[in-house]
Amino acid sequence: MDKKRILVTGGTGYIGSHTTVELINAGYSVVIIDNLSNSNIEVLDGIEAITGVRPDFVEGDCRDIETLRRLFADYPDVVGIINFAASKAVGESVEKPLLYYRNNINTLVNLLDLMPENKVKGIVFSSSCTVYGEPDENPVTEQSPIKPATSPYGNTKQICEEIIRDVIAAGAPFSAIILRYFNPVGAHPSALIGELPNGVPQNLVPYLTQTAIGIRKQLSVFGDDYDTPDGSCIRDFIDVVDLARAHVQAVARMVEGRNLNPVETFNLGTGRGVSVLELINTFEQATGVKVPYVIASRRAGDIVKVWADPTYANTVLGWKATTPLADTMAAAWKWQKALAEKK
C-alpha cells in the first residue's frame, strides 16, 4: 500500500523537524514547506540520518497562496496537514505586530482555503497554553477560560483557533485538531536535530544550555519572589519528542476518521508543574554540569504558574508524555554540545 502523505509546514523548524521524524517512523511520507526564515536546510540531513529517509522539501512561503497551489498540484496525494509555519517570539511580536498577523494568520487562511479542493482530510494546528493567560486554577483543562492575549503572538494563536472553529462551523469538508503546547524543551536523543535559536535565546532552556557551555556568562532567573514554593515561576516542560508523537496521533485520527468532533482541542503537557529553579537543578543533576545563575528582576508579562491537565489527550488522543525531565535535560545538553562541535 502506498504511504499516506502529510504536508508539514515549517517542517525544518524545532517542533516541525521532530514531528517529521516521528511521522516517517510511523510510516508516513512527508513533504515539508519552509521559507527557512528561522531554520536551516541542514535539518533535512539530520532527519535523514535518524530515519534513513529524506523528506521532500519545498522552499517557499505559505503566505503566498500561489506557492501552496503549486505544491498541491505537485503533491495531489496530501491527506493531512500539520501547520507549524509561524513566527513565535513573544517580544518580537510586540515590536512587529503586522509580521505576526500576516505570517501566522495568512498561512492558516491559505491552507484552510485550499484544503477542500485538494481533498485534504484534516489539519493540525499548533496553539499554545498562552491562550489561558494567568490561569485562575492549575492544572488547566481544555475548558479553562481563555484570557485576553498579552502579545500579538498570543493573539494570533487565539485568532487562528477562532478561524478554525468558524470555518468548520460553516461546514468545511475537513476536520481540525488544535494542540495547545505547554513549554516544549529538549532535543532528539540522537542530537542530530534540536532547537536552533536565532541570536540571544529568549527561552529558558536554550539560554541555560548556552550558559552551561560558556556562550553566555550566566543565566538570569527572572524573579524568586513569586507566590510559589521556591519563589520562581512554574511551567509544564514537555519533551519535544513526546510532543512530536502527539502530532502523529492527531493527524492519524483525522485521516482515519476516528475523531469524535470536527474540531478537537487537546492540552499537550506532562501534568506536572516544575519551577525554573527546579529545572536548573534537574539539568545539573542529569548532566553533572553546573549552571552559573543569578536571581534577576521579574520579566514583564510572565505568567506566574501554569501547568496542564493532560487527561483529555491521555484518554481520547491516546497520548501521554513519558520522557523523564532528567532525560530531556540530558538530550538538550547533548544537542548543545553537538552544535558546538559543528562550529
Please choose, from the candidates 221, 128, 112, 129, the residue with its C-alpha nearest in 3D space to the C-alpha of residue 168.
112
d(Cα 309, Cα 142) in Å, to the nearest integer?
8
- Is residue 3 exposed (0-12), middle (13-18) or buried (19+ Cβ within 10 Å)? middle
Q: Toward ligand UD1, which CB reaches closer, 28 or 132? A: 132
C-alpha grid cell for residue 33? 514547506
Contact between 159 and ligand UD1 per CB under 6 A: no
How far apart, in Å, are the Cα atoms of 246 and each of 83, 201, 315, 318?
Answer: 14, 26, 12, 9
Contact between 220 and ligand UD1 per CB under 6 A: yes
Q: Tell how many helices (H) and how many strands (E) occur in the chain.
A: 12, 13
Instruction: Give the residue at shortest CB distance from ligand UD1.
Output: 233
Q: Toward ligand UD1, which CB reaches closer, 58 or 268? A: 268
How far apart are CB 49 and ligand UD1 at their closest, in Å? Answer: 26
Q: Toward ligand UD1, which CB reaches closer, 175 or 209? A: 209
How far apart are CB 276 and ligand UD1 at their closest, in Å? Answer: 5
Helices of type H across 115-239: 152-169, 204-212
Quick check: 279 and 238 in contact, CB under 8 A? Answer: no
Taking the alpha carbons at both ends of the chain, their separation in whole angstroms is 43
Site string for ligand UD1, 7-46 (x = CB under 6 A): ----------------------------------------
d(Cα 168, Cα 267) in Å, to the nearest integer?
20
Choose the stretch contacting ligand UD1; rule: CB under 6 A; options: 26-34, 46-54, 214-222, 248-256.
214-222
Site string for ligand UD1, 70-109 (x = CB under 6 A): ------------------x-x-------------------
Give the interface with ligand UD1 as residue ranges (CB under 6 A).
88, 90, 128, 130, 151, 154, 183, 202-204, 207, 219-222, 233, 235, 276, 299, 302-303
Q: Which residues are catalytic?
A: 153
